[in-house]
A and B are shown apart, each in its own frame.
Chain A
């Protein structure tokens, strides 16, 4: 049986004699310097950096060598991250629309019955001069009745009334008011003599806010659930990867690899899955927004608005990337912590 032992090995015994007289052998010699523990601080830092770079590139190479599996996992993570991100973007858009509507807060001042025309004019002048007030409009009882007749459908019933039951109304638009400022203004206007009742038409705005809060909470819940899903997906991916490389881990540990060394490529694996998943999610959200842009523009045009659904922006994109990175790392850590300790040489 020829096992191909080269001549160099066979001739070693003769060579040995020569070497012992001629100088030190090239291989093991003197007290061994083994392990990073004996390196200086600089050496240790460099070893640490080298380890990280090696683990990083090894992991990337490994992922590239099984592209289908990698892409599928990344796609699942991407979709899971894209859902809450997309909803967040839409909600953010709705919020800007809502903010636009807050200017539309109106205060209705119902004046006492029998307030003179002169008195009303004076009142309008006074109120219009206030800093917080943008405009004041007078709606005379006749006009209001006509409008009510037209909109309510109770026209015939109104004919039965002897006189117009509606008071004069002044409609005041606050100048760029928040709901809080507007309610202060309402209180002040309500104290005027001629004013029977001042009413702030904020109910619908409050309802809108309440609905948006529900929407935001729903998105948050969804985000938490999907983040958990991402953690589980990555954890499971890493767990399978650890199992398939069990033998390698045992050999590494036998040769003196620390847990950190064994752990590192798997952590990078999780991290890369998370980051690539986040990139994929960004792509999905971008594509979805592009496809929504046309219809949203048409709808906005119908409302005479120049509203545009804005994208994540650099901060949001970094946030998404950071979330992916963190989830990937956490998921991997969770799997690694549970499984790498169990694998020991025996």
Chain B
């Protein structure tokens, strides 16, 4: 699904956010990325989402080389990824339904199909009764779940989450993580960046640890659940 070969990212000014990263994430796998702030978690996710381009090395998503992506190809790569942000990035002037339907609208689905899929996704995150609300009328946890529904509504093979529980209390955080686990169990590849070490420990999944742009050797953890 995702393969990085000696990938590095250097920003203008010399700061090296990622250095010589080698990583393989198989289809259907679920993994966490941890590390201190500034360790390169966000940069790694940005590389995968084609927001940033690697300075060197090769990155492949579903066989497509992200290092040599043409401008016109970027949208189609992003449609294969569901991205969940810490600040959920919802559009405040649109209803929950319209927010969640956006990926389907962009991909050109027909109206009835959009309704069906949006309702299925909202049902999955438990917000079916709030589809007519506006994001500001929802709690932080609910907004995050709307963001998750939007990320999975078009059934992307890869789910990326950048600190999805950063603003949530421990109970809600655990709910969200279990939601990701469910998506993983029905076939999605899931990659979650988080610094909530205790929670990651409890989830008992593959964990990648970034330190100053480098990947630390992986501890062999129990991957039975994945």
Contact = CB atoms under 8 A, between A and B. Distances in A.
Interface of A: 1, 3-6, 8-10, 12-13, 16, 20, 24-37, 39, 43-44, 46-48, 50-51, 54, 247-248, 250-259, 261, 344-346
A223 to B, nearest CB: 38
B218 interface: no
B210 interface: no
Interface of B: 49, 51, 72, 75-80, 83, 89-91, 102-103, 105-111, 120-121, 123-127, 129, 139-142, 145, 150, 152, 154-157, 169, 172, 175, 178-179, 182-183, 185-188
Contacts of B129: 6
A247 to B, nearest CB: 8
Contact of B125 (A9, A251, A253): A9
A34 B89 contact: no
A28 B155 contact: yes
6 contacts: A3-B172, A5-B126, A16-B182, A34-B76, A255-B103, A259-B75
Contact of A27 (B49, B142, B152): B152
Contacts of A31: 157
Contact of A34 (B155, B169, B185): B155
Nearest to B157: A32
A44 to B, nearest CB: 8
Contacts of B156: 28, 32, 34
A346 B188 CA distance: 25
B213 to A, nearest CB: 18
Given A3-B142, A253-B75, A345-B51, A27 B107 contact: no
Nearest to B168: A3
Contacts of B108: 36, 39, 43-44, 46-48, 50-51
The 4 closest A-B pairs by CB, nearest first: A47-B108, A9-B126, A256-B79, A256-B78
B49 A252 contact: no
A32 B77 CA distance: 13
B142 A34 contact: no
Contacts of A6: 126-127, 129
